[in-house]
Amino acid sequence: MAVLQADPAPPVEAVRRRPRERWTPYALLAPTLVLVAVFLLYPIGSVVYYSLFKYNVTKPRSNGFIGLENYQNMLSDQLFWDSLRFTTQWVVVEVGLQLVLGLGLALVINETFVGRSLARSLVFSPWAVAGVLTTTIWLLIYSPTTGFSRYLADIGIGSYGESPLIDSTSAFWAAVLAELWRGVPFFAILLLADLQTISQDLYEAAEVDGAGRMQRFWSVTLPHLRNAIVLSTLLRAVWEFNNVDLLYTLTGGGPGNSTMTLPLYVARMAVDAKEFGYGSALTVSAFLILAIFSIAYLKLSRVGREGQS
C-alpha cells in the first residue's frame, strides 16, 4: 500500500520573499499615484470646494460659504445658457466638418502618386502650429488692411472693406474656417494611420465580386475605420468644447457675446471678473456635461464591441 507523502515545505527564503514580492508592484506605482493625486485629484477637489463659496479676491469681505447658491445663480444666468448653446453649435459644426474634410484628405494622401510625401507634409503641417500663432495668422487674413478680406467677401464672408469678425454671423464662420485649418490634420493623421492597416486582399476580393469604388468605400473602408472615427470624434469634440485660445484671441467671445463658449465664459468670470467661486461652479458644470456626453457617446457607438454577441 502506497504511503502518501506531504509536499515538502517551501524554503524559508521563499516564505520571507513573498510579502516583499506582493508589495513590489504597489511600491513601483506609488510615485505615479502621488503625481496623479497632486496634479489631478487635488485641482479637481479644489474647484469643487471653491464652487461652494463666494470667492472674489477683490472683495474679501463678501467671501464665504454659500452652498449651492452659485449653481442656483447659474440656472438663471442667460449668458450661461447662451454660451452652452453656442458651444454645442460650435462642437457639432467643427467636428462634423473636420471629420469629412479629414477623411477626404486621408483617402487622397493614402493613394500612390508623385509627390505624396510632400503632400502629406503640407497636410500635417498646420497641426504643428501653436494655437496663438494660428490665430495671429488668421487675424492678418481677416484684417481689411491686408487685402484678404476682399476675397473672403467675394464668397460671402464679411463685407468689402470690413473684417468678417465684426458681424455675429460672419464671425462664427470666420472662426470655424480658422479652426478647420488647424483641426482637419488631426483627423487626417489618425484616419490615414488606420487606412494603412487595411489589407489589400479585402479590396481585391470586393473588386472581384464586382464592387465599384464607392461600394468598396462603404463596404470595406468605412467599417474598418469605425473605431478610429468614433474615438477621434470624441477626442476632438472634447477639445473643441474646451477651445479657448483661438476664440479668445480671435473674437474674445464677441461681437456681443455671439461667439462665447462655456470655457470662454469661465475664463471671463474667473480671470477677468475675479469671480473664482462662480467660475468654479461653471467649471464643475462643464466637467459634468463632458463626462455625461463621453459616457453616452461611447455607449451608443458600442466602440470595440463588434465581436461581442
| Model pTM score | 0.80
pLDDT for 5 equals 55
Confidence of residue 60 (pLDDT cuts 50, 70, 90): confident
Between residues 235 and 307, the one the model is more confident about: 235
Residues 6+ apart with CB under 8 A from 50: 276, 277, 280
pLDDT in tens, 79-101: 999 999 999 999 999 999 999 99
Domain 88-258: top CATH class: mainly alpha
Confidence of residue 308 (pLDDT cuts 50, 70, 90): very low
Domain ranges of the chain: 88-258
Euclidean distance between CA atoms 101 and 96, whole angstroms:
9
3-state secondary structure of 307: coil
Percent of the chain surpassing pLDDT 70 = 88
Using CA atoms of 217, 90, 274, 130 in order, give the dihedral in degrees to the nearest 10.
Answer: 50
